[in-house]
Structure 1
Amino acid sequence: MAFGWCIRRSASSLASVCGRVARAQAVSVVGNRSFLAPKPSSFLLRPFVSRGFLFSTATDQLKSDQTLLQVIDSEINDAFEADLVEETRASDDFPFRIEDKPGHRAVTLSREYHGEQIKVEVSMPGLDMCDTEDDENEGRDVKQSETSIPLLVTVTKKSGLSLEFSCTAFSDEIVIDGLSVNNPDNSSSEGQLAYDGPDFQELDENMRKSFYKFLETRGIKASVTDYMYEYMTKKDSREYLRWLNNLKNFIQE
């Protein structure tokens, strides 16, 4: 009887263990269903772009580029015709050497004068607004535009000490806008804090006249600036034509 009781207890324990194993397997199967479920294709998630849309975009770009090239070609023809105008040669007494680098918007004039090094940086022509007489009808000042070229004149002594003049050359006169003394011994930080002197127009009239004579004896005079105005006008046309050709090459690539 005791032996039968042991057999029944063992059978009951075995059934209990088998039940727990079966439940664990069922939970495992349910948990793995999400892993085994098929994933949505990444292709289905991509935005749809039709071939017709891509072709239309490429066609529009081609048309716009062709239109732009036609406009550029027309401008090149006009600029080329303007560039055919014969350039005036400098007179024999023109005292400066001209350094003109293609692609730059300024040229440099240089010469030596009694041991001094004279350098003039000449920029492209521009328009300046100048005052004229009062308008008879309105009773107010009238502004008119006048072409001019900016000049930066540097006169350097053997010691390295230099005078720098900021000037504007008009058709009938040269105007000194500013004057500064540059000492090569000053560091860059000291140079920024250095006293540049008073406004040129505030100087004594005799001193201002003397500085104009100072520049004239070194070659900064009307005959030189008149020629440089024509030269820079011609250079402006050449640089514009160069720029147009570079632009055309970019569009064609």
Structure 2
Amino acid sequence: MSAIRAIRQLTASSSRVLAARSVSRVVPRATIPALRSAIVPARAFSVSARRFGEGASDVALAQKLAEELQYEKEAEVDAEPDFLKAFKAQNIWQLEDIAGNDEVTLTRKFGNENIRLMFSIADIQQESEFEGEEETEEEASTSYPIRCSFSITKDSAPGALTIDAICQDGSFIVDNCSYYNDKRVGTELTADADWKRRGLYIGPQFDTLDITVQEEFEKFIQERGINESLALFVPEYAEHKEQKEYIEWLANVKKFIEA
């Protein structure tokens, strides 16, 4: 979720809370039902005013979606922002992003190795909840922790090395490293491969390894481009994609409601 949208939601939520508190302090509780009954008829839609589907709320919902869509389009950044242009110009990682999907894939060659990175923009939506009304814009713009999965395979070997990590604040924090004798089991995104992986040993927690092993392993992955530069790109691109998908979602839902 974009920082702008998150702050708008926080402001709207705070306003609703303040409004509710004001009513409860000024209006006696016994008179609230009467006020509600007086207000509802003025806001209700008549049957003749209905459009689109059969619901009386269709028009109002479509209007709100249109307003939100217009706002997001006005705030939308370029289709290809500078950070993305710079990333592509390096010509190290190849970006695979399918519109409508929440997963992004980056691939590259390193010697005789094939390296794949996958991450999901769903982590942005899960981490975008504010913890309180005192949240500031600066706090809201901090890097989101995004789970990443790397796989390394070799043309000359049958196995696969997979690395699960968290990307945040310009670094990858490795959780564990697994090795699979069968390359397909380790890398395929199928139900059958996933079922087979569940019954296999995935390796120790990375932070339980000898410190010297951890250090050498970190050098190993950094040499393959799994470094600070990539760790800064992942959350930035994730938010860029989430914003694009949100705008498309607004347009699709609006179109469906109006059909």
Q: What TM-score bracket applies, with the shorter chain setting the length?
A: 0.5 to 0.7
Counterpart AA for 2:100: G
Larger radius of gyration: 1
Q: Distance in 2 between matches of 1:105 and 1:233?
A: 11
Contact 1:128 1:148 in 2 (8 A): no
Question: Deviation digits for residues 25-50 of structure 1, max 9, x if unmatched?
Answer: xxxxxxxxxxxxxxxxxxxxxxxxxx
Contact 2:159 2:180 in 1 (8 A): yes
Q: Distance in 2 between matches of 1:165 and 1:128?
A: 25
Structure 1 pair 58–156 and aligned structure 2 pair: CA distance change class (3 A): same
Q: SS at 2:58's partner residue?
A: helix
Structure 1 segments unaligned to the other structure (5+ residues)? 1-54, 130-144
1:225 counterpart residue number: 231
The number of equivalent residue pairs is 184
Q: More relative contact order in 1 or in 2 (CA 8 Å, sep 6+)?
A: 2
Return the TM-score normalized by structure 1. Answer: 0.64
Return the offset for 1:82: 2.8
Pairing 1:102–2:96 present: no
Contact 2:65 2:250 in 1 (8 A): yes
Structure 2 segments unaligned to the other structure (5+ residues)? 1-45, 130-141, 186-191
Give % identity. 28
Pairing 1:65–2:63 present: no
2:253 counterpart residue number: 247
Aligned Cα root-mean-square deviation (Å): 2.7
| Larger proportion of helix | 2
Counterpart AA for 1:252: E
Counterpart AA for 2:230: V
Q: SS at 2:173's partner residue?
A: strand
Pairing 1:76–2:69 present: yes
Question: Deviation digits for residues 59-80 of structure 1, max 9, x if unmatched?
Answer: 4945410100111011111221
Structure 1 pair 190–149 and aligned structure 2 pair: CA distance change class (3 A): closer
Q: SS at 1:99's partner residue?
A: strand
Contact 2:50 2:59 in 1 (8 A): no
Of residues 58, 71, 90, the one that matches 2:86 is 90
Structure 1 pair 148–205 and aligned structure 2 pair: CA distance change class (3 A): same
Contact 2:114 2:153 in 1 (8 A): yes
Of residues 231, 234, 241, the one that matches 1:235 is 241
1:122 counterpart residue number: 119
Return the offset for 1:84: 2.8
Of residues 149, 154, 160, the one that matches 1:152 is 149
1:165 counterpart residue number: 163
